[in-house]
Structure 1
Amino acid sequence: MRILKYIFDFYIQSSLHVALAVYALIRITFLKLNISYDEPVAHFGFFGTIVGYNFIKYDELARVKKVKLTRTFKAIIGLSILSALFALYFFVELKTKTKLIGLGALLLTILYTLPFFPDKSNMRNWSGVKIYLVAAAWVGVTVLLPVINADLDISIVVVLKCIQRFVFVFVLMLIFEIIDLQFDEKSLETIPQKLGIKKTKLLSYFIIASFLILDFFISHHQQNEFNNYHINKELQGYNLDNFYYVIINSKAQIILFFLLVLFTFYANCNRNKYYTSFWVESVPFFWLILLLVFS
């Protein structure tokens, strides 16, 4: 039992779980925008997330605090180095314009972790900025990366999908901030610190509702693009043989809506670390499964 707990904790601490969540969101983008499976994009997102998140979480411990290298810490470093090699391999396989997005995500990770100026703090400690930076980074990796590498135009559907993905990650981050309220420094000025838990949850419910509404707009515009294809036969980026992947049954989105509401409702400072680090970060898996079941 102790071995199983060690393996599970390593799975969480090494960022494998969050990397799989990113992978799931990339697969969701493939399904939602009817993009054929793109191995370099999916695997670059997976391995790049392991490298990026471990750098963010453990850089200060190793570089500044110089904590003792335990067996687990050494294993995480080894996994990160191996993941960096895989990420580099799949990065080379990306198209040139897609690489620019990948380099942008790398730069954001570095600025998020390391101070840009010697006498200034890093972006992670900028008041009220963290949640927006994380949401924007996830949009870039899980939506823009697949779209650009597939040579799709930045249509209204893609723009709405970016907004919806930002909203989705923003809601998950709000849950994290509620759980971490007692640990976060006041200088961070997180949303729960400013509004309190009750008002933060009300804000989250409103945002979750907008997530569901956005999906109806996306479906409407996708249907229009589908109809226009039959009229002028010039729509690029869509394979009509697999177009049923685009028209997703609304049941999946409605179930996801209630799932987000429940996770928000039961979020409080007394929840253990697995509530967010495992269960909340598992929401992208649930979303992907729902889409596969109802598509």
Structure 2
Amino acid sequence: MLEKEHSEIRRQQPLADWLRTGIEALLYSSVFISLCAFGLTVETYLLTGNKVSLPMACFVFLATLFTYNTSSLQRMWRGWRAKKGGQSWSIRHQKELAVLALLSLAGAVVLYFLFELRINLWFVLTLALISVGYTVPLARNRLKPFRSVPLLKVFLIALVWSAVTVLFPLIDASVALDSPVMLIWLRRFLFILALALLFDIRDYTYDRHTRTLTFPGLLGENYTRFLSLGLLVLYLLLVLLTEEGEVLIGLLSAALVAGLIVWNASEEKPRIYYALLADGAMLVHFAFVYLAVS
């Protein structure tokens, strides 16, 4: 009987290992968060009643994938080598991630010109510089990454994400950036800003060691959570003023899910909590809107 149980455990172990490896690759290669960007871009079309442009959504996916893997590309460019053992997943697989960054950049460039996406190239490059400069110094030994600027990083994240997932698709669709559109942008900005604060909580010890002032360092972990919840309340007020029917219910539900994730966030939570749940709140946001309009 015991031999049979041990045999069953041995058969299940490879499956569990493959599953864990797959989840790690999905999360830490930034494919998952790029899917979140894809979903939010599609959501913008749905909210405004415009036809979904898959080339634009794929462009945002690839651009996000490139941006989040530029640190691996930088390390490879400088000839930095990972030490054996005890390294994070992204460090152990930095060569693969550097290749992924280059392939995603090439794909984004091909999509931009092949489908003649109608976004001003200078606008794209400006946001790209902000995104890359967030983690990679734009001038070696002269400038620090933008994330090192006190209290700035969460606003940069919210600004870039809201611009890319709201303004990019609507500009490409030739939609006028009037008050209703800008309210959608503001809602998205507040929602992303609320989630971005969670990563300040996650990185509190690291930021303290690097002497980077963040909101948890200024306000403390608890008050940072309350600030995040307050931003979600502002988001809810805007949703109540601008939406109705099933879309309103969907967005309220998405905010409730995000609120629960914020409420339970702490520095002690494992990194997968943030990679899967905090980022995943954006995908939940898209899913509720998709169900509401289907």
Q: TM-score range by the shorter chain?
A: 0.7 to 0.9
Give CA deviations for 1:220-248 in whole Å, capped at 9, x if unaligned.
Answer: 8xxxxxxxxxxxxxxxxxxxxxxxxxx64
Give CA deviations for 1:110-166 in whole Å, capped at 9, x if unaligned.
Answer: 333224474331212111111111111101110110010000111101111111111
Change (3 A) 1:117 1:273: closer
What is the rounded CA distance, in whole Å, between the counterparts of 1:17 and 1:167 in structure 2?
Answer: 21
What is the rounded CA distance, in whole Å, between the counterparts of 1:85 and 1:184 in structure 2?
Answer: 33
Instruction: Please say if 1:216 is aligned against 2:222.
Output: no
Amino acid at match of 2:232: I
Instruction: Please say if 1:58 is aligned against 2:72.
Output: yes
User: 1:61, CA displacement in angstroms?
Assistant: 3.4
Give CA deviations for 1:152-197 in whole Å, capped at 9, x if unaligned.
Answer: 1111011111111110110111111112212223522111110011
Q: Which residue of 2 aligns with 1:34?
A: 49
Question: Which deviates more from structure 2 when the two are superposed, residues 64-73 or residues 138-147?
Answer: 64-73
What is the rounded CA distance, in whole Å, between the counterparts of 1:269 and 1:97 in structure 2?
Answer: 39
Amino acid at match of 2:193: F
Q: How many residue pairs get matched?
A: 268
Q: Which residue of 1 aligns with 2:108?
A: 87
Q: Which residue of 2 aligns with 1:242?
A: none
Instruction: Please say if 1:191 is aligned against 2:206.
Output: no
Change (3 A) 1:83 1:115: closer
Q: What's the TM-score, normalizing by structure 2?
A: 0.84
Q: Which residue of 2 aligns with 1:279?
A: 277
Task: Verify the 8 A CA contact 2:191 2:232 in the aligned structure 1.
Answer: yes
Runs of 4+ in structure 1 over 4 Å off: none
Give CA deviations for 1:22-64 in whole Å, capped at 9, x if unaligned.
Answer: 0011011011111111122101100111111100x32453345
Q: Which residue of 2 aligns with 1:261?
A: 259
What is the rounded CA distance, in whole Å, between the counterparts of 1:216 and 1:40 in structure 2?
Answer: 31
User: Residue 249 of structure 1: which of 247, 250, 262 is its match?
Assistant: 247
Amino acid at match of 1:76: L
Amino acid at match of 2:55: P
User: Residue 226 of structure 2: which of 182, 188, 202 is its match?
Assistant: 202
Task: Verify the 8 A CA contact 2:254 2:285 in the aligned structure 1.
Answer: yes
Q: Whose RCO is larger (CA < 8 A, sep 6+)?
A: 1
Amino acid at match of 2:31: L
Instruction: Please say if 1:12 is aligned against 2:27.
Output: yes
Q: Secondary structure at the match of 2:124?
A: helix
Question: What residue ranges of structure 2 are gaps of 5+ in the alignment?
Answer: 1-15, 84-90
What is the rounded CA distance, in whole Å, between the counterparts of 1:215 and 1:37 in structure 2?
Answer: 22
Instruction: Please say if 1:165 is aligned against 2:214.
Output: no
What is the rounded CA distance, in whole Å, between the counterparts of 2:78 and 2:119 in structure 1?
Answer: 35
User: 1:15, CA displacement in angstroms?
Assistant: 0.8
Q: Secondary structure at the match of 1:249?
A: helix
Q: What percentage of residue pairs aligned between the two structures are identical?
A: 22
Amino acid at match of 1:99: L
User: Residue 127 of structure 2: which of 70, 95, 105 is its match?
Assistant: 105
Question: What residue ranges of structure 1 are gaps of 5+ in the alignment?
Answer: 221-246
User: Residue 98 of structure 2: which of 62, 65, 77 is its match?
Assistant: 77
Amino acid at match of 1:68: A
Task: Verify the 8 A CA contact 2:195 2:228 in the aligned structure 1.
Answer: no
User: 1:266, CA displacement in angstroms?
Assistant: 0.5
User: 1:65, CA displacement in angstroms?
Assistant: 7.3
Q: What's the TM-score, normalizing by structure 1?
A: 0.84
Where do residues 176-187 of structure 1 align in structure 2 (5 Å cutoff)?
Answer: 176-185=199-208, 187=211
Task: Verify the 8 A CA contact 1:94 1:149 in the aligned structure 2.
Answer: no
Task: Verify the 8 A CA contact 1:175 1:264 in the aligned structure 2.
Answer: yes
